[in-house]
């Protein structure tokens, strides 16, 4: 499912558009509606975030959304439900992006089985070291889930090779060092990182951290297999006066970004 979506984008001579929103934000129902809206409005894939109390990789925008979701009482069951309903409504691939601790406490085997039963395509685990990932990868493989690892410009070539050999689905290339958030520009580090990653694997390489407008999406789409956008979508929901305005905002942005990746 995930591979098919990325291959379809490649066949259309464009990068895939990958959206991100945390589950339970602004509410569980609102989060399901927003994830569905992204998929209906131009995203090829959606990442559903599992809100965490200490999101070390995430900037202030996503931290704020996570806090709202956690105060609302979001549970792992709500994350799985978000995946199930967004996928069922659109037929498009939906992944979960989560830090390792909640999965470890819940039980890797249990989490993988429930995610797969919900129609989930895989899991992105930004803080799980590849050397400690064998247990999860076995559970994910048995469940038919992709395991996506994150690489950064600081990763040495030999480490990139180790990470990409263990991963599946695609490689998440963090274009800049630091936390998530929109940027004024997308630097040359992203292009260099994609080149280095491609020397180690045939997996698609999707670039995240910083894209917020169609021009940046087009720029990244020139050299990446996928363009990942998170904080810009979250900000549309945070800045909206109400649920309907928020949904209209993320639909508008998804459509504009989809046009951007096609230009690229």
Closest CA to 14 of 224, 198, 157, 164: 224
DSSP strand pairing (171-174 vs 150-151)? parallel
- The torsion angles phi and psi of 82, rounded to 5 degrees, stand at -60, -45
241 in catalytic set: no
The radius of gyration of the chain from alpha carbons, rounded to an integer in Å, stands at 17
4 in catalytic set: no
Q: Per residue in 12-24, is it b (16+ CB within 10 Å) or e — as a string?
A: eebbbbbbbbbbb
Q: Are 258 and 17 in contact (CB under 8 A)?
A: yes
Catalytic residue among 29, 40, 44, 47: 47
Catalytic residue among 4, 44, 58, 132: 58
d(CA 264, CA 10): 12
Closest CA to 31 of 2, 69, 61: 69
d(CA 198, CA 102): 31
d(CA 74, CA 63): 14
Round to the nearest angstrom and report the end-to-end CA distance of the chain: 24
Active site amino acids: 47, 58
């Amino acid at each position: 499912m995930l591979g098919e979506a990325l291959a379809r984008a490649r066949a259309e001579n464009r990068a895939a558009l990958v959206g991100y929103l945390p589950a339970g934000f602004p509410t569980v129902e609102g989060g399901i509606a927003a994830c569905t809206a992204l998929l209906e409005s131009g995203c090829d894939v959606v990442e559903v975030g599992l809100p965490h109390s200490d999101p070390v990789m995430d900037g202030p925008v996503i931290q704020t959304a996570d806090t709202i979701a956690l105060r609302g009482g979001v549970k792992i069951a709500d994350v799985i439900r978000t995946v199930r309903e967004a996928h069922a409504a659109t037929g498009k691939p939906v992944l979960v992006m989560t830090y390792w601790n909640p999965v470890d406490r819940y039980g890797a085997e249990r989490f993988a089985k429930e995610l797969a039963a919900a129609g989930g395509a895989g899991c992105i685990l930004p803080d799980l070291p590849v050397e400690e990932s064998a247990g999860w990868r076995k559970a994910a493989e048995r469940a038919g889930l992709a395991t996506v690892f994150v690489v950064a410009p600081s990763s040495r070539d030999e480490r990139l090779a180790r990470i990409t050999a263990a991963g599946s689905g695609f490689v998440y290339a963090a274009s800049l060092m630091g936390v998530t958030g929109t940027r004024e520009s997308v630097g040359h580090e992203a292009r260099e990182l994609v080149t280095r990653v491609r020397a180690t694997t045939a997996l698609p390489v999707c670039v995240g951290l910083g894209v917020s407008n169609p021009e940046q999406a087009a720029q990244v789409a020139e050299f990446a297999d996928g363009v990942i956008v998170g904080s810009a979508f979250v900000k549309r929901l945070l800045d909206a006066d109400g649920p309907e305005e928020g949904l209209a905002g993320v639909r508008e942005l998804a459509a504009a970004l989809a046009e951007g990746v096609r230009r690229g």
